[in-house]
Amino acid sequence: MSTKDSKQSLLSTPLHGLYIPAGLLVFGTVIVKREWTMYAVGLAAVLMAYKVYRGQSRKVLNSGGAWQEFELREKTEISHNVAIYRFALPGKNDILGLPIGQHVSICATIDNKEIIRSYTPVSSDAVDRGHFDLLIKSYPTGNISKYIANLKIGETIKVKGPKGQMVYRPGLVRAFGMIAGGTGITPMLQIIRAILMNDEDNTKVDLIFANVGIEDILLKDELDDLVRKEDQSGRRRFRVYYVLNNPPEHWTGGVGFVTADMIKEWCPLPAKDMKILICGPPPMVSAMKKACTALGYHPAKPVSKLDDQVFCF
């Protein structure tokens, strides 16, 4: 479904109660008291206009910088230490209002200290209404990740955003080379979804996704499904190459750490109309910066900006 189709779906679906109640009101008035028909038509028009207004999506994030609280609605466990946390928005048609490529800050008071971490939702404003989802891996020594893992349904977190220098739009580049490790897949997936959901976006994406073992590959089913759909459509805008430190028998992907040779083989060559995006553990990010520089890409800056050829989240 294209982005345009998703925006139109609300008004094109009679099951939303937009037409039937209004029609019954007018028809009933004609039967009971014909001279009141014009009043019934006017009332029906007002009700329909209100329904349309209520059905429109509303952006919830306050860009003014104030912290906002959102309630945990649901928790879906992916593995023993990874889960998707669904937080409710105020209205059922509300959207978070996060530009593609940006993230939010999560704040919690732990041991009398205010701790802040950044997360990129895995939900999409284009299709998800009334909630947003965070994919979080809980670490034994983690602060916010462990705090969220211990949240009970109905409890809240404090959120601020949008944050970040990356704002994706169609036509930003001809091609992306993405290098992700572990939960570093989340900002990549946000951009990948936006591209593939838009039939008019021809941006190519090559993703190198590194993990320890095959069981650690987050959202693998969805990534594989996106590749399959692109192949079936003949457009082939998306490829993914998995790299594992501890691969199983008969593994056909990459083995060990991501190397310069892998980047050269799977990512677009240096050019003005492409970007390399990197997100993962700090040691991996540092190694990828050096590898990209050695391959002829522009050196990554300490703080990445939208115009940079190598952008690190």
279 noted as active-site residue: yes
- Taking the C-alpha atoms of residue 16 and residue 2, their distance in angstroms, rounded to an integer, is 21
16 noted as active-site residue: no
**Shortest CA distance to 177 belongs to which of 2, 302, 312?**
312
Catalytically annotated residue among 3, 29, 85, 120: 120
297 noted as active-site residue: no
DSSP string of the chain? --HHHHHHTTTT-GGGTSSHHHHHHHHHHHHH-GGGHHHHHHHHHHHHHHHHHHHS--B---TTS--EEEEEEEEEESSSSEEEEEEE-SSTT-B--PPTT-EEEEEEEETTEEEEEEE--SS-TTT--SEEEEEEEPPTT-SHHHHHHTPPTT-EEEEEEEE-S----TTS-SEEEEEEEGGGHHHHHHHHHHHHH-TT---EEEEEEEESSGGG-TTHHHHHHHHHHHHHHT---EEEEEEESS--TT--SEESS--HHHHHHHSPPS-TTEEEEEES-HHHHHHHHHHHHHTTPPPPPSS--TT-SEEE-
Catalytically annotated residue among 3, 29, 119, 292: 119
Burial (CB < 10 A; 0-12, 13-18, 19+), residue 208, is: buried
103 noted as active-site residue: yes
Catalytically annotated residue among 3, 85, 103, 183: 103
Q: Which residue bears the tokens 């990197």?
A: 278
Phi/psi zone of residue 43: left (φ > 0), alpha (ψ -120 to 50 degrees), beta?
Answer: alpha
- Residues with a catalytic annotation lie at 103, 119-120, 279
